[in-house]
Amino acid sequence: MRALESPPALLDLARSIRAGDTTAEAATERCLAAIGERDGSINAFITVTADAARDAARTADRELASGRDRGPLHGVPMSIKDILDIAGLPTTAASRVRRNHVAARDAIVVARLRDAGAVFVGKTNLHEFALGTTNEESAYGPVHHPLDPTRSPGGSSGGSAASILAGMAFASMGTDTGGSVRIPAAACGLVGLKPVFRDVPTQGVVPLSTSLDHVGPLCATVADAAAIYRVIADAPGFAASPQPGDPRELRLGVPRRYFLDLLDDDVARAFDETCARLAAAGVRLDDVTIPHAAEIGAVYLHVALTEAAAFHSRTLETQPDDYTPTVRARLEAGRYVLAEDYIRALRGRDVLRRDVMAALEGHDALLLPALAVPATPLGAATMRVSGVDEPVRNVTLRLTQLFNLTGHAAITVPCGTTGGGLPIGAQLAAPSTAGLLAVAATLEPWIRGQAVTSPRLT
């Protein structure tokens, strides 16, 4: 297994480009070289756009040389999950169902990144239609974890996470319907941000479950996430670099029951150590409860599968064999949900939203692990956790899907590694994305257990 090295921050690269230490073209060539060297075994990319990336990088360098600076993403190589449209390219969603699709225009998020000067090196692999957490069901084959090829990097934005960890991109855009940004970010030692619902437009993104879908970045640091959020969000006036505050002024709620009941031993240890570091820094940690936490999975399943089935009903009839068998089965199952149970789930969703709001009262954010287990072995149907055999899908979604139901902002920050060196992530959740980023920026050094060396570029 390879050793975990923190990937470079995009704000570091932005500073280096402006200092004349490197160029956008050189950074892009390094990413393309890494793709050439490593993607044969990792399989992070479905489409590599080398020529377009080189052109965009040279343009970025020329603009900077002439005094036009589009901001911190100018000239930064990024990858895009292949569920967001890039004009002129297929948006496969990792499915044979969409083999004839070519996007007519950029997704709004992609257009905003392009306007900000980002360089797109390619489109990344994912779990088919984002309906899974391992990327094993993809028409383009599974994504392998850059640190251990026998494991999944998490999903569904697995190719995005793997591309950053393997040095093929400095950041990536993913989507998160039940945890699909935060799960791979945690499994790969990255920061992953799910903004507040509807903070970031989803036009030009293939939907999974329209009331749960979010678009968000995967990257190296909280400051990187803030810089990307500023570009992609409908959030005028948001400061790109939230200034770290005083941890002694922060108060976090820790929902222990349910959320800490089913954890891998290494994850439990790392989370305990994170809480101890934060407490030592002066952060006040209070136990809180989500009274209806036991019903999260049931509510989520009914909302997610029903909405997904509605989107896929025609192609399930006309192209059933173009789906991978497991994804097809999940979508077909959603067609059997009774309307009365869907209504019960919607009511439960309101109750869960109220539970989270109550738990947040008097607190700046909630703190919990992001992923109950380290990166899962490819091919595993179940994992033994706390003495119980749990389906991989259930155990990986367990700690993230709540905030898709409630719409709260959530972010994962690396908080340690297993004895074997696999990354572990902590998760913060808060009512506003800007507020969450400010809390995360303040606490990042203590969550990581090490200094964040990345500079903040305003």
Partner 1 sequence: MTPDHWLESARTDAARRGLPDLQASLEGLARAARLLRAADWNGDASGGSGLDAGAPAPAR
Q: Which is nearer to partner 1, 297 or 377 (CB)?
A: 297
- 180 belongs to the catalytic site: yes
Q: Annotated catalytic residue: which of 138, 152, 156, 163?
A: 156
The answer for residues whose C-beta is within 8 angstroms of residue 300's C-beta and 6 or more apart is 178, 212, 397, 401, 402, 404, 405
337 in contact with partner 1 (CB under 8 A): yes
**CB of 290: closest distance to partner 1 in angstroms?**
9
Q: How many CB atoms within 10 Å of residue 292?
A: 17
Identify residue 255 by its one-letter amino acid code. Answer: P
The C-alpha atoms of residue 219 and residue 164 are separated, in whole angstroms, by 7
Task: Identify the CA nearest to 423 among candidates 379, 373, 378.
Answer: 373
4 in contact with partner 1 (CB under 8 A): no
- 156 belongs to the catalytic site: yes
β-strand partners of 216: 174
Give the residue, chosen from 10, 301, 368, 447, that forms a contact with partner 1 under the rule CB under 8 A: 301
Give the residue, chosen from 181, 345, 366, 397, that forms a contact with partner 1 under the rule CB under 8 A: 345
388 in contact with partner 1 (CB under 8 A): no
Q: Which is nearer to partner 1, 66 or 318 (CB)?
A: 318
The C-alpha atoms of residue 281 and residue 279 are separated, in whole angstroms, by 5
The C-alpha atoms of residue 196 and residue 216 are separated, in whole angstroms, by 10
**DSSP state for residue 128 in the 8-state scheme:** G
Task: Identify the CA nearest to 216 among candidates 153, 166, 145, 161.
Answer: 161
Q: How far is CA 302 from the centre of its chain?
A: 22
289 in contact with partner 1 (CB under 8 A): yes
Cα end-to-end span (Å), the chain: 37
Stretch that binds partner 1, among 140-148, 258-266, 276-284, 298-306 (CB under 8 A): 298-306
295 in contact with partner 1 (CB under 8 A): yes
Q: How many CB atoms within 10 Å of residue 286?
A: 12
Q: Which of residues 306-325 bind partner 1 (CB under 8 A)?
A: 325
The C-alpha atoms of residue 326 and residue 328 are separated, in whole angstroms, by 5
The C-alpha atoms of residue 389 and residue 392 are separated, in whole angstroms, by 9
The C-alpha atoms of residue 127 and residue 406 are separated, in whole angstroms, by 23
363 in contact with partner 1 (CB under 8 A): no
Q: Annotated catalytic residue: which of 81, 95, 157, 160?
A: 81
Stretch that binds partner 1, among 144-152, 215-223, 353-361, 416-424 (CB under 8 A): 353-361
Number of residues binding to partner 1, judged by CB under 8 A: 32
Give the residue, chosen from 286, 347, 388, 389, that forms a contact with partner 1 under the rule CB under 8 A: 347
Q: Which is nearer to partner 1, 34 or 309 (CB)?
A: 309
Q: Which is nearer to partner 1, 246 or 336 (CB)?
A: 336
Give the residue, chosen from 137, 355, 364, 444, that forms a contact with partner 1 under the rule CB under 8 A: 355
And the tokens for 6?
A: 């923190």
Q: Annotated catalytic residue: which of 95, 172, 180, 209?
A: 180
**CB of 328: closest distance to partner 1 in angstroms?**
7
**CB of 139: closest distance to partner 1 in angstroms?**
17
The C-alpha atoms of residue 293 and residue 356 are separated, in whole angstroms, by 10
Give the residue, chosen from 341, 382, 390, 449, that forms a contact with partner 1 under the rule CB under 8 A: 341
Task: Just list the catalytic residues.
Answer: 81, 156, 180
Footprint of partner 1 (CB under 8 A): 289, 291-292, 294-295, 297-299, 301-302, 305, 325-326, 328-330, 332-333, 336-338, 341, 344-345, 347-348, 350-351, 353-355, 358
